[in-house]
Amino acid sequence: MRTERVLLAVTLILTIAAVAGADGMLIPGPPDRPMPEVPNFTVKYHHVTVEIEDQVSTTHIDQVFINEADREVEATYLFPLPANSVVRDFAVVADGKRMEAKLYEKDEAVRIYEEIMRQRKDPALFQYVGNNTYQARIYPIPAGGERRIEITYSELLSFDADIVEYVYPLSTEQFSNKPVKETVFNCSIVSKDPIASIYCPSHNVDVDKTDQRHATVSYEENDTRPDRDLRLYYSVSSSAIGTHLLTYKEKGEDGFFMLLAAPTVEREQASVPKNVVFVIDRSGSMSGEKIEQAREALTFCVNSLEPEDEFEIISFSDNVKSFGSSLSEAKPARIKAARDWISGLEATGSTDIDAAMALAMKRRRANRPNYIVMLTDGLPTAGETDLGSILSNLEDRREKMAEAATRVFVFGVGYDVDTHFLDKMSLQNNGIATYVRPSESIEAKVSSFYAKISRPVLTDLAVDFGEITAEDFFPRELPDLFHGSQIVLLGRYDKRTCGRTAVTLTGHTADGSHDFAIEALFPNERTEAEYIPVLWASRKIGWLLDEIRLKGENKELVDEVVRLGTEYGILTEYTAFLAEEGEVATAEEATDRAAAPMAAGGAQTMGGYAISQRDNNQAMQKAANMSAQNAYMDEEGDWQQVAGIRNIGQRGFIEQAGQWVDSRLRIGTAEELKPEIEVQAFSEAHFQLAREFPGVNSMLSASDNLLVLINGHVVQIGTEGKETLTAAEIEALQAPATDTGDDVGVAPAEPVEEGVAASPAAQVLGGLAGVALAFAASLTRMGG
């Protein structure tokens, strides 16, 4: 029997720049002779376990790779290692054998890494140039064989302004030959100081704060290719409300900020007593399962009232009934009586929304926050039926007792509700509308929502930024802060008012009015948190689209949507045409093409299509992470991904004729699209760009057919061009260009002939915003 020899050697690259986390990839071929003709290995599973205790993290990675080639191969394992980290254990399990690691010299490691890139010709590898990287040579791996790799390292995490940051780059899994069957991330946090906010801008994670000093964060996905690094922040604070600031600012430009606020001592802190009026539709259309689920949901809400709360229940059809003659204290006897009253609700008659909301407004009191929770499944058919008049009446009644702070939360059930009407009802009264599709449970959706708002901690919030000129906030109006929740406020700050200042959050607690102040730095330059501008732009675009949807289109709003969507690579119904092939257009032509959808008909107000367009806009306005960028909700409420436009760092890129183009280069004239310098992909010149301009490595990873701005200079990466850059050429690129072209001009699509299906980028528009492009016949099938 032949005894197979298993070879393992590990190389450590030590250079200046480094990522803040690590994840390995297995490249076919030995370090000095990569095998580009051999397919990438498939990652069978990828498990990450992280323990963070007082700013020190220990990360354990467990990966299994499968050789998809039809022959035995050698492979190179690449592992980007964080700065300030110490490897505690590294092992490759091959045929039951555990192999030890061996380190090689830095210069040899750098040479090997660049040779791998030249041979593999995969531009995505550019994002790791300059990182500390382990390299493991693994041999042999039989056809169809597996190798399990485990590594454990400890890292001293960055701590700035009471915020701890942890990053794990899951993005290397994009090199898997097939989707990763199982990706699991579990993190436990132990802190000697109370934990305030836990925030993940990259992924939609689950967070459980078991007490004020312990928390867990988890994330799982199956059969996907993770393409985004997982970034996690948590803040510590001894204040009852932990408030913290994150910033992003390029030199000479206005800055961006993200303000996080969350209760610190959740279990012990008293809730603010509140008045709650439940308003439920019992018209005939609510009969059957709808009214049964509504009764269950209302029972849950009543059972969740705090002892100091007061409440009322109003039901309506063509007549209005109430549980009491005024607000009732949430005492056990009244709660039991309310449950009995709810159980007797029957669906019959027509719908008088105006009269029901009039009585709800009368029940308010000025001594505490007032929440009105209204549920309906249709349009008004009795009493006042004009939607504008109902909204006007509601506003008048609110103003008659303006001192009674009021938020109106609306639930629209089914597809027969008018989303514009219900959205305006909630937005004009500092609340939000939620929609329950026919396939969804009324009980589950209402109960989940009420559980989140049942215990307010801080109400009537306001923020003062001291000496800093801050503006363009999203959300426009701060919501109340509840137990188990946090507020994420994004905005801009003036480049002329940088520096340290006191940021003060004010509001009402159970003990009265309180201020929560922190000392914050608004820097003149800080570019690490590059996700902040994109999240801010996403929220602003969502707000602009809602303004257009609810108030009608105007050129100024459309112009701003086009500008932001183009600059930050965010897909909207006004920017999708940019992903089509075509000629460069002038600013006026671009806006005309963006406004064309309204010529085919206005936005819909009813049906699954209308609910999807509203939910898409709301998702953008609430954006707290990058997980849903350039995705849209279809008519059935399912999320769909979109190709042709993407965000890398804080920049947008658009695919046109097979080339990925820096979106800012679609803003200008045709002459400005001509590159100042052309570089041959994977040549020495390509690597010179990566080494001299490490800030653009993530952009260089977009494609090997690329048009990108570097310091305002237009650079093209492609099959032809310079193989080496001279010192003078590098120096010229390092000097900022005097004119980067800020005049709007775009490459529009050629019109689609009648009966011809639109491209995927155009087809998504129905789900995105509910307007029918004149050139996209398939929109109605996609969007409803």
Q: What is the pTM of this model?
A: 0.65
DSSP conformational letter for 175: G
Say whether the peptide bond before residue 140 is cis (omega within 30 degrees of 0).
yes
Residue 450 confidence (pLDDT) above 90: no
What are the CA-CA distances from residue 306 to residues 325, 598, 612 (Å)? 21, 48, 34
Token pair belonging to 100? 């030890």
What pLDDT score was predicted for residue 485?
79
The answer to whether the CB of 129 falls within 8 A of the CB of 49 is no
- The C-alpha atoms of residue 320 and residue 298 are separated, in whole angstroms, by 17
Residue 343 or 100, more confident: 343
Residues 268 and 494 sit within 8 Å (Cβ to Cβ): no
Both tokens of 601, joined, read 């008909």
> Which residues, 6 or more positions from 381, have their beta carbon under 8 angstroms from its beta carbon?
283, 318, 350, 351, 352
Q: Give the start-end residues of each E strand in 634-767.
A: 639-641, 645-648, 651-656, 659-662, 677-680, 706-710, 713-718
State how beta strands 651-656 and 182-190 pair: unpaired
CB 282 within 8 A of CB 348: yes
> What is the DSSP secondary-structure string of 333-353?
HHHHHHHHHHHT----S---H
Distance CA 732, CA 736 (A): 8
Distances (CA, A) of 724 to 363, 682, 714, 727: 77, 11, 17, 10
CA–CA separation, 576 vs 645, rounded Å?
8
d(CA 719, CA 681): 6
> Averaged over 42-46, what is the pLDDT?
89
Q: Is the pLDDT of residue 131 over 80?
A: no
What one-letter code names the amino acid at 746?
A: V
pLDDT, averaged across the chain: 75
**Quick one: which H or E segment has residue 607?**
helix 607-621
Q: How many CB atoms lie within 10 A of CB 210?
A: 12
Backbone angles phi, psi at 725, to 5 degrees: -100, 140
Spatial distance between the Cα atoms of 370 and 364, rounded to a whole number of angstroms: 6
User: What pLDDT does residue 722 have?
Assistant: 92
Cβ proximity of 134 and 34 under 8 Å: no
pLDDT category at 31 given cuts 50, 70, 90 is: low
Contact 602, 769 (CB under 8 A): no
User: Quick one: CA dihedral 693, 695, 698, 699, positive or negative?
Assistant: negative
Judged by average pLDDT, the poorest of 119-123, 336-340, 464-468 is 119-123
> What are the tokens at 40?
């990438």
Q: In the block, which residue shows the tokens 């959300």?
A: 475
Report residue 772's pLDDT band, with 50, 70 and 90 as the boundaries.
very low
Question: How many whole angstroms separate alpha carbon 490 and alpha carbon 710?
Answer: 27
Q: 658-683 burial string, b = 16+ CB within 10 Å, else e? A: ebbbbbbbbbbeeebbebebbbbbbb
Kindly indicate the confidence band of residue 8, based on its pLDDT and cuts at 50, 70 and 90. Answer: very low
59: closest CA among 81, 78, 43?
Answer: 81
Residue with tokens 């593999």: 120
Q: How many CB atoms lie within 10 A of CB 309?
A: 21
Measured CA to CA, the distance from residue 426 to residue 416 in angstroms comes to 18
Mean pLDDT of 472-477: 89
Q: What is the DSSP letter of 203?
A: S
pLDDT digits (tens, 9 = 90+) for 163-213: 888 988 776 555 567 888 899 999 999 988 888 888 888 888 999 888 888
pLDDT single digits (tens) 344-389 = 999 999 999 999 999 999 999 988 899 999 998 878 889 999 988 9
pLDDT-derived band at 323, boundaries 50, 70, 90: very high
Q: What are phi and psi of 615, to 5 degrees?
A: -65, -35
Mean pLDDT of 475-485: 84
- Percent of the chain beyond pLDDT 70? 71
Q: Show the tokens assigned to 297.
A: 């949901």
Contact 589, 614 (CB under 8 A): no
Q: Which two tokens stand for residue 125?
A: 């590898």
